[in-house]
Amino acid sequence: MASAAHSKDGATGAPARGSKSTTASGRTVKSSLKRVIRRPEFGAFAGMILVYAFFAVAAKNGFLTLAGTANWMNTASELGVLAVPVGMLMIAGEFDLSVGSVIGASSMIVSIGNGFYGLPMWVAIILALIIGALIGLGNGIITVSTRLPSFIVTLAGLFIVAGAALGFSRLLSGTTAVTLTPEGSARMAFGSQAAGFHVSILWWIAITAVASWILTQSPYGNWIFATGANQNAARAAGVPSDRVKVSLFVATALGAVLVGVLQTIQYSGGDVTYGRDFVFDAPVAAVIGGVLLTGGYGSAIGVFLGSVIFGVVNMGIFYTGWNSDWAQLVLGTLLLLAVLGNNYFRRLALTGG
Protein backbone atom coordinates (compact mmCIF):
# COMPACT_ATOMS: atom_id res chain seq x y z
CA MET A 1 0.00 0.00 0.00
CA ALA A 2 2.76 2.43 0.95
CA SER A 3 4.66 1.87 -2.25
CA ALA A 4 1.51 2.20 -4.30
CA ALA A 5 0.72 5.50 -2.66
CA HIS A 6 4.21 6.73 -3.44
CA SER A 7 3.93 5.84 -7.08
CA LYS A 8 0.82 7.84 -7.77
CA ASP A 9 2.07 10.94 -9.38
CA GLY A 10 -0.03 13.96 -10.14
CA ALA A 11 -0.76 13.00 -13.70
CA THR A 12 -1.51 16.59 -14.52
CA GLY A 13 2.21 16.95 -14.68
CA ALA A 14 3.12 18.06 -11.17
CA PRO A 15 6.81 17.47 -10.56
CA ALA A 16 7.58 14.17 -8.93
CA ARG A 17 9.98 15.72 -6.43
CA GLY A 18 9.19 15.20 -2.81
CA SER A 19 7.66 11.77 -3.23
CA LYS A 20 10.86 9.77 -3.16
CA SER A 21 10.50 6.23 -2.01
CA THR A 22 12.89 5.52 0.80
CA THR A 23 12.42 1.77 0.90
CA ALA A 24 14.60 -0.86 -0.76
CA SER A 25 16.14 0.33 -4.01
CA GLY A 26 14.31 -2.29 -6.07
CA ARG A 27 11.06 -0.91 -4.84
CA THR A 28 12.12 2.63 -5.67
CA VAL A 29 12.89 1.62 -9.25
CA LYS A 30 9.58 -0.17 -9.57
CA SER A 31 7.59 2.71 -8.16
CA SER A 32 9.35 5.33 -10.27
CA LEU A 33 8.75 3.15 -13.32
CA LYS A 34 5.06 3.09 -12.49
CA ARG A 35 5.13 6.84 -12.08
CA VAL A 36 6.69 7.27 -15.51
CA ILE A 37 4.18 4.92 -17.14
CA ARG A 38 1.29 6.91 -15.72
CA ARG A 39 2.41 10.22 -17.15
CA PRO A 40 0.12 11.39 -19.98
CA GLU A 41 3.04 11.58 -22.42
CA PHE A 42 4.27 8.05 -21.81
CA GLY A 43 2.29 6.52 -24.69
CA ALA A 44 3.57 9.15 -27.10
CA PHE A 45 7.12 8.60 -25.93
CA ALA A 46 6.86 4.84 -26.49
CA GLY A 47 5.20 5.46 -29.86
CA MET A 48 7.94 7.84 -30.92
CA ILE A 49 10.69 5.34 -30.09
CA LEU A 50 8.80 2.63 -31.95
CA VAL A 51 8.15 4.71 -35.06
CA TYR A 52 11.66 6.11 -35.13
CA ALA A 53 13.19 2.64 -34.75
CA PHE A 54 10.95 1.33 -37.51
CA PHE A 55 11.99 3.97 -40.03
CA ALA A 56 15.63 3.82 -38.94
CA VAL A 57 15.54 0.23 -40.21
CA ALA A 58 13.05 0.52 -43.07
CA ALA A 59 14.22 3.76 -44.66
CA LYS A 60 17.24 2.98 -46.75
CA ASN A 61 19.11 6.15 -47.41
CA GLY A 62 19.07 9.51 -45.77
CA PHE A 63 16.58 9.22 -42.91
CA LEU A 64 19.27 8.96 -40.25
CA THR A 65 21.50 11.65 -41.76
CA LEU A 66 21.67 15.23 -40.55
CA ALA A 67 19.60 16.36 -43.53
CA GLY A 68 17.04 13.64 -42.87
CA THR A 69 16.80 14.64 -39.22
CA ALA A 70 16.41 18.29 -40.20
CA ASN A 71 13.62 17.28 -42.55
CA TRP A 72 11.49 15.49 -40.01
CA MET A 73 12.18 18.09 -37.35
CA ASN A 74 11.14 20.91 -39.67
CA THR A 75 7.91 19.11 -40.50
CA ALA A 76 7.26 18.31 -36.84
CA SER A 77 8.02 21.86 -35.70
CA GLU A 78 5.56 23.56 -38.05
CA LEU A 79 2.81 21.29 -36.82
CA GLY A 80 3.98 21.44 -33.20
CA VAL A 81 3.86 25.23 -33.04
CA LEU A 82 0.12 24.91 -33.62
CA ALA A 83 -0.55 21.52 -32.01
CA VAL A 84 0.69 22.65 -28.58
CA PRO A 85 -1.86 25.46 -28.15
CA VAL A 86 -4.54 23.29 -29.81
CA GLY A 87 -3.68 20.59 -27.26
CA MET A 88 -4.03 23.10 -24.40
CA LEU A 89 -7.44 24.13 -25.69
CA MET A 90 -8.42 20.45 -25.92
CA ILE A 91 -7.32 19.95 -22.30
CA ALA A 92 -9.72 22.79 -21.46
CA GLY A 93 -12.42 20.79 -23.26
CA GLU A 94 -12.78 22.66 -26.56
CA PHE A 95 -11.84 22.25 -30.22
CA ASP A 96 -10.60 24.76 -32.77
CA LEU A 97 -10.98 23.73 -36.39
CA SER A 98 -10.77 27.29 -37.71
CA VAL A 99 -6.97 27.23 -37.35
CA GLY A 100 -6.79 25.51 -40.76
CA SER A 101 -7.91 28.62 -42.57
CA VAL A 102 -6.34 31.11 -40.14
CA ILE A 103 -2.94 29.83 -41.36
CA GLY A 104 -3.82 30.62 -44.99
CA ALA A 105 -5.46 33.92 -44.07
CA SER A 106 -2.48 35.16 -42.07
CA SER A 107 -0.19 34.04 -44.85
CA MET A 108 -2.19 36.23 -47.25
CA ILE A 109 -2.28 39.18 -44.84
CA VAL A 110 1.51 39.13 -44.58
CA SER A 111 2.15 38.57 -48.27
CA ILE A 112 -0.41 41.08 -49.54
CA GLY A 113 0.59 43.60 -46.87
CA ASN A 114 4.29 43.32 -47.53
CA GLY A 115 4.60 41.88 -51.03
CA PHE A 116 1.70 43.73 -52.68
CA TYR A 117 1.26 46.97 -50.72
CA GLY A 118 4.85 47.26 -49.53
CA LEU A 119 4.09 47.59 -45.82
CA PRO A 120 7.07 46.94 -43.53
CA MET A 121 7.23 43.20 -42.81
CA TRP A 122 6.75 43.59 -39.06
CA VAL A 123 3.70 45.79 -39.57
CA ALA A 124 2.17 43.12 -41.79
CA ILE A 125 3.00 40.43 -39.21
CA ILE A 126 1.48 42.46 -36.35
CA LEU A 127 -1.61 43.05 -38.48
CA ALA A 128 -1.90 39.28 -39.01
CA LEU A 129 -1.51 38.69 -35.27
CA ILE A 130 -4.22 41.23 -34.47
CA ILE A 131 -6.66 39.75 -36.98
CA GLY A 132 -5.80 36.25 -35.74
CA ALA A 133 -6.41 37.29 -32.14
CA LEU A 134 -9.77 38.77 -33.13
CA ILE A 135 -10.77 35.51 -34.86
CA GLY A 136 -9.78 33.57 -31.72
CA LEU A 137 -11.70 36.02 -29.57
CA GLY A 138 -14.75 35.60 -31.80
CA ASN A 139 -14.55 31.79 -31.67
CA GLY A 140 -14.14 31.89 -27.91
CA ILE A 141 -16.85 34.40 -27.10
CA ILE A 142 -19.40 32.69 -29.35
CA THR A 143 -18.57 29.28 -27.86
CA VAL A 144 -18.76 30.29 -24.20
CA SER A 145 -21.77 32.57 -24.54
CA THR A 146 -23.94 30.21 -26.61
CA ARG A 147 -22.70 26.96 -24.99
CA LEU A 148 -22.73 25.44 -28.48
CA PRO A 149 -20.11 22.79 -29.20
CA SER A 150 -16.91 24.54 -30.29
CA PHE A 151 -16.54 21.84 -32.94
CA ILE A 152 -19.45 23.32 -34.88
CA VAL A 153 -18.70 26.97 -34.05
CA THR A 154 -15.11 26.69 -35.28
CA LEU A 155 -16.14 24.55 -38.25
CA ALA A 156 -18.23 27.53 -39.32
CA GLY A 157 -15.19 29.69 -38.55
CA LEU A 158 -13.07 27.46 -40.80
CA PHE A 159 -15.37 28.16 -43.76
CA ILE A 160 -15.91 31.84 -42.97
CA VAL A 161 -12.21 32.60 -42.62
CA ALA A 162 -11.28 30.51 -45.67
CA GLY A 163 -13.93 32.24 -47.77
CA ALA A 164 -12.99 35.69 -46.52
CA ALA A 165 -9.31 35.03 -47.14
CA LEU A 166 -10.01 33.90 -50.72
CA GLY A 167 -12.44 36.73 -51.43
CA PHE A 168 -10.34 39.54 -50.00
CA SER A 169 -7.17 38.18 -51.58
CA ARG A 170 -8.70 38.31 -55.04
CA LEU A 171 -10.36 41.64 -54.36
CA LEU A 172 -7.14 43.29 -53.16
CA SER A 173 -4.44 41.59 -55.17
CA GLY A 174 -6.31 39.83 -57.97
CA THR A 175 -4.73 36.50 -57.02
CA THR A 176 -4.66 33.94 -54.18
CA ALA A 177 -0.87 33.57 -54.01
CA VAL A 178 1.46 36.54 -53.61
CA THR A 179 5.24 36.46 -53.52
CA LEU A 180 7.44 38.58 -51.29
CA THR A 181 11.12 39.01 -50.54
CA PRO A 182 11.70 38.50 -46.83
CA GLU A 183 14.61 40.41 -45.37
CA GLY A 184 15.97 41.86 -42.16
CA SER A 185 15.00 40.82 -38.66
CA ALA A 186 11.68 39.30 -39.68
CA ARG A 187 13.51 36.96 -42.01
CA MET A 188 15.89 36.04 -39.23
CA ALA A 189 13.06 35.41 -36.75
CA PHE A 190 10.89 33.32 -39.06
CA GLY A 191 12.93 32.26 -42.08
CA SER A 192 16.50 31.52 -41.05
CA GLN A 193 18.02 28.08 -40.98
CA ALA A 194 21.26 26.38 -40.05
CA ALA A 195 22.45 23.15 -41.68
CA GLY A 196 18.92 22.59 -42.91
CA PHE A 197 17.36 23.02 -39.48
CA HIS A 198 14.66 25.65 -39.73
CA VAL A 199 14.15 28.35 -37.09
CA SER A 200 10.62 27.00 -36.57
CA ILE A 201 12.25 24.28 -34.44
CA LEU A 202 13.29 26.94 -31.92
CA TRP A 203 9.75 28.36 -31.88
CA TRP A 204 8.40 24.86 -31.36
CA ILE A 205 10.71 24.14 -28.42
CA ALA A 206 10.09 27.57 -26.86
CA ILE A 207 6.31 27.27 -27.18
CA THR A 208 6.37 23.76 -25.71
CA ALA A 209 8.50 24.93 -22.78
CA VAL A 210 6.22 27.87 -22.03
CA ALA A 211 3.06 25.75 -22.41
CA SER A 212 4.50 23.05 -20.19
CA TRP A 213 5.38 25.59 -17.52
CA ILE A 214 1.91 27.11 -17.70
CA LEU A 215 0.17 23.74 -17.43
CA THR A 216 2.25 22.29 -14.61
CA GLN A 217 3.38 25.32 -12.62
CA SER A 218 0.92 28.18 -12.95
CA PRO A 219 -2.49 28.55 -11.29
CA TYR A 220 -3.86 29.27 -14.77
CA GLY A 221 -2.68 25.79 -15.82
CA ASN A 222 -4.56 24.29 -12.90
CA TRP A 223 -7.66 26.13 -14.10
CA ILE A 224 -7.20 24.75 -17.65
CA PHE A 225 -7.25 21.16 -16.37
CA ALA A 226 -10.19 21.79 -14.05
CA THR A 227 -12.21 23.56 -16.75
CA GLY A 228 -11.76 20.64 -19.12
CA ALA A 229 -12.37 17.92 -16.55
CA ASN A 230 -15.44 19.35 -14.83
CA GLN A 231 -16.48 22.86 -15.73
CA ASN A 232 -19.20 23.07 -13.09
CA ALA A 233 -16.81 22.06 -10.33
CA ALA A 234 -14.24 24.52 -11.64
CA ARG A 235 -16.80 27.34 -11.69
CA ALA A 236 -18.01 26.47 -8.20
CA ALA A 237 -14.40 26.71 -7.01
CA GLY A 238 -14.23 30.22 -8.43
CA VAL A 239 -12.27 29.41 -11.59
CA PRO A 240 -13.11 31.88 -14.41
CA SER A 241 -13.67 29.04 -16.89
CA ASP A 242 -15.06 31.21 -19.66
CA ARG A 243 -12.05 33.50 -19.59
CA VAL A 244 -9.73 30.49 -19.55
CA LYS A 245 -11.40 29.13 -22.68
CA VAL A 246 -11.53 32.42 -24.56
CA SER A 247 -7.84 33.05 -23.86
CA LEU A 248 -6.98 29.59 -25.20
CA PHE A 249 -9.01 30.19 -28.38
CA VAL A 250 -6.89 33.31 -28.86
CA ALA A 251 -3.75 31.23 -28.23
CA THR A 252 -4.68 28.65 -30.90
CA ALA A 253 -5.43 31.41 -33.41
CA LEU A 254 -2.08 33.06 -32.65
CA GLY A 255 -0.38 29.67 -33.06
CA ALA A 256 -2.02 29.41 -36.48
CA VAL A 257 -0.84 32.91 -37.40
CA LEU A 258 2.69 31.95 -36.39
CA VAL A 259 2.55 28.91 -38.69
CA GLY A 260 1.28 31.13 -41.51
CA VAL A 261 4.07 33.65 -40.95
CA LEU A 262 6.74 30.93 -40.74
CA GLN A 263 5.57 29.30 -43.97
CA THR A 264 5.15 32.59 -45.85
CA ILE A 265 8.64 33.81 -45.01
CA GLN A 266 10.23 30.42 -45.50
CA TYR A 267 8.67 29.96 -48.96
CA SER A 268 8.97 33.68 -49.88
CA GLY A 269 5.29 33.98 -50.59
CA GLY A 270 1.82 33.55 -49.22
CA ASP A 271 -0.87 31.17 -50.40
CA VAL A 272 -4.43 31.02 -49.21
CA THR A 273 -4.30 27.21 -49.15
CA TYR A 274 -1.45 27.02 -46.61
CA GLY A 275 -2.25 24.96 -43.56
CA ARG A 276 -5.38 23.21 -44.81
CA ASP A 277 -4.12 19.83 -43.56
CA PHE A 278 -3.47 21.21 -40.09
CA VAL A 279 -7.20 21.26 -39.28
CA PHE A 280 -7.00 17.62 -38.30
CA ASP A 281 -3.25 17.10 -38.02
CA ALA A 282 -3.03 19.36 -34.96
CA PRO A 283 -5.71 17.62 -32.87
CA VAL A 284 -4.41 14.23 -34.04
CA ALA A 285 -0.92 15.13 -32.83
CA ALA A 286 -2.44 16.25 -29.52
CA VAL A 287 -4.37 12.98 -29.06
CA ILE A 288 -1.38 10.85 -30.05
CA GLY A 289 0.47 12.93 -27.46
CA GLY A 290 -1.89 11.81 -24.70
CA VAL A 291 -4.44 14.60 -24.61
CA LEU A 292 -7.85 13.30 -23.64
CA LEU A 293 -10.40 14.07 -26.37
CA THR A 294 -12.99 14.99 -23.76
CA GLY A 295 -10.62 17.32 -21.90
CA GLY A 296 -9.03 17.50 -18.48
CA TYR A 297 -5.94 15.45 -19.17
CA GLY A 298 -2.74 15.77 -21.17
CA SER A 299 0.61 17.52 -21.33
CA ALA A 300 2.55 19.90 -23.56
CA ILE A 301 5.50 17.49 -23.72
CA GLY A 302 3.09 14.82 -24.94
CA VAL A 303 1.83 17.04 -27.75
CA PHE A 304 5.44 17.86 -28.62
CA LEU A 305 6.13 14.11 -28.94
CA GLY A 306 2.90 13.70 -30.92
CA SER A 307 4.18 16.19 -33.47
CA VAL A 308 7.56 14.41 -33.53
CA ILE A 309 5.70 11.21 -34.47
CA PHE A 310 3.94 13.12 -37.25
CA GLY A 311 7.22 14.42 -38.62
CA VAL A 312 8.98 11.06 -38.35
CA VAL A 313 6.16 9.18 -40.09
CA ASN A 314 5.74 11.69 -42.92
CA MET A 315 9.45 12.00 -43.62
CA GLY A 316 10.17 8.34 -42.83
CA ILE A 317 7.72 7.19 -45.50
CA PHE A 318 9.35 9.60 -47.92
CA TYR A 319 12.79 8.11 -47.22
CA THR A 320 11.60 4.53 -47.63
CA GLY A 321 10.65 5.46 -51.16
CA TRP A 322 7.12 4.18 -50.64
CA ASN A 323 4.20 6.18 -51.89
CA SER A 324 3.44 8.92 -49.36
CA ASP A 325 -0.19 7.77 -49.39
CA TRP A 326 0.86 5.22 -46.77
CA ALA A 327 1.64 7.96 -44.27
CA GLN A 328 -2.04 8.49 -43.53
CA LEU A 329 -2.56 4.78 -43.00
CA VAL A 330 0.27 4.71 -40.47
CA LEU A 331 -0.91 7.88 -38.72
CA GLY A 332 -4.49 6.68 -38.59
CA THR A 333 -3.40 3.41 -37.03
CA LEU A 334 -1.20 5.27 -34.55
CA LEU A 335 -4.11 7.51 -33.63
CA LEU A 336 -6.28 4.51 -32.91
CA LEU A 337 -3.52 2.87 -30.87
CA ALA A 338 -2.95 6.13 -29.00
CA VAL A 339 -6.60 6.44 -28.06
CA LEU A 340 -6.72 2.84 -26.86
CA GLY A 341 -3.39 3.10 -25.05
CA ASN A 342 -4.16 6.41 -23.37
CA ASN A 343 -7.47 5.07 -22.22
CA TYR A 344 -5.69 2.14 -20.61
CA PHE A 345 -2.98 4.21 -18.95
CA ARG A 346 -5.51 6.66 -17.61
CA ARG A 347 -7.52 3.88 -16.03
CA LEU A 348 -4.30 2.62 -14.49
CA ALA A 349 -3.65 6.09 -13.07
CA LEU A 350 -7.14 6.27 -11.60
CA THR A 351 -7.17 2.85 -10.01
CA GLY A 352 -3.67 3.29 -8.68
CA GLY A 353 -3.00 -0.42 -9.12
Shortest distance, position 259 Cβ to another protein, whole Å = 25
Contact 239, 256 (CB under 8 A): no
Shortest distance, position 340 Cβ to another protein, whole Å = 18
**Nearer to another protein by C-beta: 193 or 218?**
218
Which residues make up the interface to another protein (CB under 8 A)?
1-2, 5-6, 8-12, 14-19, 213, 217-219, 222-223, 225-226, 229-230, 232-239, 292, 296-297, 346, 349-352
**Nearer to another protein by C-beta: 6 or 245?**
6
**Nearer to another protein by C-beta: 12 or 143?**
12
Shortest distance, position 229 Cβ to another protein, whole Å = 4
Q: Give the residue ranges of DSSP H helices in 147-199.
A: 150-173, 184-191
Contact 8, 352 (CB under 8 A): yes
Nearest to 290 by CA among 212, 220, 227, 223: 212
**Nearer to another protein by C-beta: 17 or 60?**
17
| Whole-Å CA distances, 70 to 86, 198, 262, 316 | 24, 8, 16, 12
Shortest distance, position 298 Cβ to another protein, whole Å = 10
SS3 198: strand
For residue 30, the tally of other CB atoms under 10 A from its CB is 15
Shortest distance, position 13 Cβ to another protein, whole Å = 10
**Nearer to another protein by C-beta: 67 or 210?**
210
Shortest distance, position 38 Cβ to another protein, whole Å = 9
**Nearer to another protein by C-beta: 98 or 231?**
231
DSSP assignment of 299-343 equals -HHHHHHHHHHHHHHHHHHHHHTS-THHHHHHHHHHHHHHHHHHH
